[in-house]
Amino acid sequence: MIGRVEAFVLRRLLALPAPVQRFIGGTPESGDPIDPTIAMLLRVQRWRGQAGLSAGTPERTRRRIRRTAALMGGRPTPVGAVHDVTVAGRLRGRHYVPADGSDLLVVFFHGGGFVAGDLDTHDETCRLLCVSARARVLSVAYRLAPEAPFPAAVEDACAAVNWAFTRAPAVAVCGDSAGANLAAVACRTLRGGERTPVAQALLYPLADHVGEWPSRSRFRSGPVLTARDLDFFRRHYLPGPVTADPRHSPLRAPDLTGLPPAIVVTAALDPLRDEGEAYAAALRAAGVPVRAWRVPGMVHAFANLTSVSEAARRAVVEVGTLLRT
């Protein structure tokens, strides 16, 4: 639970005039323009001694991400109904039902570097998608590393999508960061089966564990996601030698033809920006219909910042709207 003092301070900060927020936030180390509200909140976090997402151990990292998500979550977006469910006989899930909607079921995989994140950290993200897509959303708590390293999360993602096929006439997949990786990998793994997802929506996906990308160097100190974080998450998810395996690096797949239409959204100030945009380009080159764009001034994990940034909120709502169409 977040403290009342933290919540009070956040409300006061968000009420400050934009010029004051811009002054407090300053300019990132990279010099790139950044959303002033997000910059201010990140500067306050650094003053409190918190930089990046990882916190030394998996459990401390999970607590940090849960606490930050609770603080930034804001007032929940109303939906028709929410039910906790069991997915594929063994996975925890949360089912969001719109007040009115279509037959589409969106299977959502949360971010958190394959180590952290849960149903609660991405509750508001799923609510926004449910309303904007006018579709049911199934959030899946896949197994986390290091207790369950690769390929456990991939197996869970595929099991969840196959389970969803038995519950809805149309199934799409969606995820952010590590969850977007799982959504992409599930689409390729299930390609050619009796049923495949009708669409894939990938928010700032981790697409390549082995390549060197300019954005990883440019934003190695963040904001939000750092090179240290990426190394921490990779070591726990992929404890052995890292090879160009498309089951963890979808950009390394030799053949991307026949995959579902894709929505790929990247953030301007994100180490994962370039590989996400390269994956969108690779899908397009393989003949996959792609809608892709970069959100200016935005940082990694913006799907968790929709209550404090209108630009972040608009981006998530746009994804939901495109899934609806």
* Catalytic residue (one of 110, 209, 248, 300): 300
**Joined tokens for residue 66:** 């849960």
Reading phi first (left if > 0) and then psi (alpha if -120 to 50, else beta), residue 52 is in left
Full DSSP string of 118-172: -TTTTHHHHHHHHHHHTSEEEEEE---TTTS-TTHHHHHHHHHHHHHHTT-SEEE
Query: In the annotation, is 300 catalytic?
Result: yes
Query: In the annotation, is 177 catalytic?
Result: yes
Query: In the annotation, is 110 catalytic?
Result: no
* Catalytic residue (one of 54, 177, 307, 309): 177
Bridge partners, 107 (sequence order): 138, 173
Full DSSP string of 269-305: E-TTHHHHHHHHHHHHHTT--EEEEEEEEEETTGGG-
Are the CB atoms for 202 and 266 separated by under 8 Å? no
* Catalytic residue (one of 270, 274, 307, 309): 270
Bridge partners, 170 (sequence order): 104
Q: Measure the CA–CA gap between 60 and 176, rounded to whole angstroms.
A: 21
Residues forming the active site: 177, 270, 300
